[in-house]
Chains A and B, each alone.
Chain A
């Protein structure tokens, strides 16, 4: 306990120091409040708008998590299907990699038009597209990159395709998969909020940020950003927690208990 405290102490010090510096700088340099509100103003806005922010955060979170689930499922299904067939993989992978390289977020207004600007489905679809490609590409890589010696070992046991899949390919794919969904977790909130920038239900973090900023209520905009940040970090931490349970053997987890 003491050790852990000692371990996190520098981080905590930097955080508190940063807040104090920010507050002090805004006051001392008399920075215009609408350019950069001091932390105390943002905290006050968080308290005043807590009901609105909670409701908006929930809307955005549902869009992000819903879209994440759709993209994840789709990515896994396509990855498992194509990893079985080299021909399909060869035909699809170049497109998937190309699609992963384009800024899918640019499609946000189009998705709003396709699936209804006020419907959460349009935001979920943007998120799903953002999450789909990294999950699919990484999972295919993980499933197909088992080393030759492992596969020969399984061949020497006359193991079936299914046994090779469950005992070698899937465990081998786990690190690739978790890398993808950690990226996906962050992308899902970006997707949902940017989707909201282009219109949608009013009680949503993206809408609050856009509207507060246009009415120069910057402390309020910042308070919504803080909520979005907290959701993003929370989502990421949950995935790291799952990762630790799923693959305690992995090199990145060693020495941690």
Chain B
């Protein structure tokens, strides 16, 4: 089922944490193929392994069983080839670097010549509308601006794949909605494939071309929902009838998964800490 062109191809993936004494099955029987240019959200309650799945795609941790291919290569190879950019929940900007120097970090590591680097940084900062803040230090920027800088950094070496782990989870609702609109603009401008982890149903529906619904214990995919909302999406999208219908559909699917309740969320917290 995975085309040769797929950006991500996951087959029969499972992940188990712990030793023989106490084992926790974090992920089980995961199959997922993502095509170029898709925007795929992974949504589910805490402890469903959605962040773990993202980290396995990025080879930040390995699977226990099954395989992951990125751009047709094993995930480890894709990482050393710098095939993807990663955005974490925290911006992870270095205080000792200015914003432009933070964006330059991955370019320094791939030894991009200085002249091209300077040009590339300028492009990236203009893409995320931070050109005026190039010489600022991270602590001088708001949370939303810091996360935009992190996105610029992740896109700096033009990866075909962008992995985002609840990037707007720490932002207030208004900023989050604005960031969502901006992210879609960047996605449309760059044509990058995005895998996006979130626990916000409206965010997943608004952004995605497909929403992958997961459930906990063990973490598995319970449903994949196609989001056919027209593009480009804007604030008006959030008022469309189909938008609300899709939100309801995702919510129902999460409930059907059985671990969507608040009690379950709290009980699953220790597992999240393991990841």
Interface residue ranges, A against B (CB under 8 Å): 147, 149-150, 152-159, 163, 167-168, 171, 174, 247, 249-251, 254
Contacts and interface: CB of A to CB of B under 8 A. Distances in A.
Given A149-B88, A249-B137, A168 B94 contact: yes
A32 B88 CA distance: 70
Contacts of B95: 249-251
Contacts of B170: none
B266 interface: no
A164 to B, nearest CB: 10
Q: Which of B82, B85, B86, B95 has the most CB of A within 10 A?
A: B95
A153 B58 CA distance: 11
A171 B94 contact: yes
B58 A156 contact: yes
B256 interface: no
A103 B110 CA distance: 49
Interface in B55-100: 58, 60, 79-82, 84-86, 88, 90, 92, 94-97
Given A158-B109, A247-B96, 4 more contacts: A155-B79, A156-B85, A158-B81, A167-B109
Contact of B82 (A147, A153, A158, A174): A158
A174 B106 CA distance: 22
A168 B58 CA distance: 20
A150 B106 CA distance: 12
B139 interface: yes
Nearest to A249: B96
Nearest to A156: B86
Contact of B92 (A153, A159, A167): A153
Contacts of B88: 149, 152-153
B117 to A, nearest CB: 14
Contacts of A247: 96
B92 A157 contact: no
B105 interface: yes
A251 B109 CA distance: 27
A154 B153 CA distance: 12
A163 B109 contact: yes
A156 B84 contact: yes
A158 B139 contact: no
A157 B96 contact: no
Nearest to B157: A157
A254 B139 contact: yes
Contact of B94 (A150, A152, A159): A150
Contacts of A167: 94, 105, 108-109
7 contacts: A150-B92, A152-B88, A157-B106, A158-B82, A167-B105, A171-B94, A251-B95
Contacts of B110: 157
A158 B80 contact: yes
A152 B82 CA distance: 14
B109 to A, nearest CB: 5
Contacts of B105: 157, 167
A149 B92 contact: yes
A157 B60 contact: no
Interface string B42-63: 0000000000000000101000
Contacts of B92: 147, 149-150, 153
A157 B82 contact: yes
B60 A156 contact: yes
Nearest to A159: B109
B60 A155 contact: yes
Nearest to A168: B94
A251 B94 CA distance: 12
B94 to A, nearest CB: 7
Contact of A149 (B58, B81, B84, B90): B90
Contacts of A163: 109
Nearest to B95: A249
Nearest to A153: B92
Contacts of B58: 156
A155 B110 CA distance: 13
A156 to B, nearest CB: 4
A163 B106 CA distance: 11
A115 to B, nearest CB: 40
A197 B88 CA distance: 58
A53 to B, nearest CB: 42
A158 B96 contact: no
B119 to A, nearest CB: 20
Q: 4 shortest A-B CB distances, which residue pairs?
A: A156-B86, A158-B80, A249-B96, A171-B96
